[in-house]
Amino acid sequence: MGAPWVNFYLAAAGASAGLTGLLFVAVSLRPREIRNDPLMVGRAMSAFYSFQVVLFAAFLALAALPVPVVGATQSLVAGAILVGSAPFTLNAIRAHQLNYKRAAVYHIGLVLVIVAGLLRLPATLITAADWTLAAGVLLLLAIALSNSWQLVISHGADQPA
């Protein structure tokens, strides 16, 4: 990773770590409501997964490891989260509760992280990998922040808005 990106990844890792802590606070404010509402569970999991992908992708980008190892690991982490998210996405589709715009941002962010990792494999496309990873990181941070906020302000179907 080039020196111009160090500050970006330091900021992304710090923001993701701090916001993960705030997500735990948001979830602890209304644990029963969140646990009993599949939509809110999905938002909480999406936010958590997004923050963790950003955290690990940033840590890996900063690591003193060979570029192909960083790329492979970034792709594996984001790929595992994408696969792990599939059952929740499919359940939300079946329940007619999926917000397709939010889901698209989440999934595009994960795919961009995967692609960025793959671009690092030949160790010749570093600039393209950094720009692609930055785009994925920003999308994931944006959707995670939005989903976290929705957990705080949303009300369950059986409660007044």
pTM here is 0.85
Q: Is residue 158 part of a domain?
A: no
**pLDDT one-digit tens code per residue, 91-123:** 888 888 888 888 899 999 999 999 999 998 887
- The domain containing residue 127 runs over which residues? 3-153
Q: Closest Cα to residue 60, out of 150, 120, 100, 131?
A: 120
Residue 132 domain-assigned?
A: yes
* Residue 159: per-residue pLDDT: 45
Task: Assign 157 a pLDDT band (cuts: 50, 70, 90).
Answer: very low
Q: Is residue 102 part of a domain?
A: yes
Residue-level pLDDT at 109: 94
> Residue 75 falls within a domain, yes or no?
yes
Q: What is the pLDDT of residues 63-81, one digit of tens each?
A: 888 888 889 999 999 999 9
Q: Examine residue 160 and state whether it is found in any structural domain, yes or no.
A: no
Q: Does a structural domain hold residue 33?
A: yes
Do the domain assignments include residue 159? Answer: no
End-to-end CA distance of the chain: 47
Determine contact, residues 39/92, Cβ cutoff 8 Å: yes
Q: Average pLDDT for residues 35-40, to the nearest whole number?
A: 81
In a domain, 14, yes or no: yes
The yes-or-no verdict on residue 160 having pLDDT over 60 is: no
Q: pLDDT category, 12, cuts 50, 70, 90? A: very high
Share of the chain above pLDDT 70, in %: 94
What is the distance of C-alpha 160 from the center of its chain?
A: 30
Query: DSSP state, 3?
Result: G
**Crossing angle (nearest 10°) for helices 38-62 and 100-120:** 20
Tell me what the mean pLDDT of segment 38-46 comes to: 83
The count of structural domains within the chain is 1
